[in-house]
Amino acid sequence: MIFAYTVSSTIVPGGFVWGNGGKVRNRGVELSLAATPVKSKNFSWNTAVNFAANKNLILDMNGPAKYGVNSDSIRYTQPDGAGQTNSTLQILKVGHSIGEFFTLNYQGKDTDGNSQFLAQDKTLTTSPAIGTDYIYAGSPYPKLLLGWNNTISYKNFDLNFFFRGAFGGRIFNVSRADLSYTVNAAVNNISIHAADDLMTDAKNNAYSTRYIENGSYVRLDNATLSYRVPVKKEGYVSHLRFYLTSNNIFVITKYTGIDPEINQGGVGLGVEGNNFYPKTRTIVLGVNVGF
């Protein structure tokens, strides 16, 4: 778990050092099943499904000992949007997963229409304390990954399609938060999700549970329809096949951002912050010829 630790600038110029952040444990299970439910002279269906689940857990946070680093938690991921000074999104914490969200607990609007949050003492406040009033707000890791591949054949026609899915992971939609700052509505474009927020509500875009969304999705990743043209054995052409292939066909999700399939690597996983380019959808018409 390589991470940049804050240390005394008298020991290390610059005040931080890269080091192994401690111990991390991953435990999971994967199951693959394949079958041919239907098989006849002119029709067949082959299917295979894959399930995977993994539990990530930080066991300790003992950093490089020679620099005096010894901590059970580190706050990090600081996008620095408008009005977000010192706000962080995630935490490395013993007993939690890498990338655990750690942020303010959004509690809707008060009677004046201003954003309010749950303070550490369980009271509601419109002026939450950064760090102090934070709560653990879920993991970006999916609880279940799914892959489902199918091939259906009827006479000379073949149809292959593949679904992928991820379920139970959370996404911090930083882009939505940054585009919801109504204080700047007179000069900047504002997200439609902030249409009912007051221009005087300076905390409406505060990084909080308001902008943590369900990242579950099912995607039809690709599909290919093909037709094998019957050819004479004594002819010049031994094989002729026409096909139509499409990738990234559709995705089913409740996530309001561009795409729920965002960065899931490193320690800053599960954060979508104006750094994601939409996946392209491609359609290819082709022919295979053998001589």
> Which residue carries 């799914």 as its tokens?
146
Q: How many domains does the chain have?
A: 1
pLDDT band at 64 (very low <50, low <70, confident <90, very high): low
> What CA–CA distance (Å, rounded) separates 212 from 219?
21
Tell me what the pLDDT averaged over the chain comes to. 92
Highest mean pLDDT, choosing among 68-82, 213-227, 258-272: 213-227
Is the pLDDT score of 12 beyond 90?
Answer: no
Instruction: Taking residues 173-188, report their average pLDDT.
Output: 94
pLDDT band at 69 (very low <50, low <70, confident <90, very high): low
CA distances, 284 to each of 159, 225, 244, 262 (Å): 15, 11, 6, 25
List the single range of 61-75, 84-98, 115-129, 170-184 with lowest mean pLDDT. Answer: 61-75
> What CA–CA distance (Å, rounded) separates 150 from 30?
19
> What CA–CA distance (Å, rounded) separates 193 from 255?
13
Helices (H), the chain: 174-178
Instruction: Output the pTM of the full model.
Output: 0.89
Domain range for 221: 2-290
Instruction: Taking residues 148-165, report their average pLDDT.
Output: 97
User: In this structure, what token pair is assigned to residue 27?
Assistant: 């435990």
Comparing CA positions, the residue from 61, 58, 55 lying closest to residue 74 is 61
Per-residue pLDDT, 68: 59
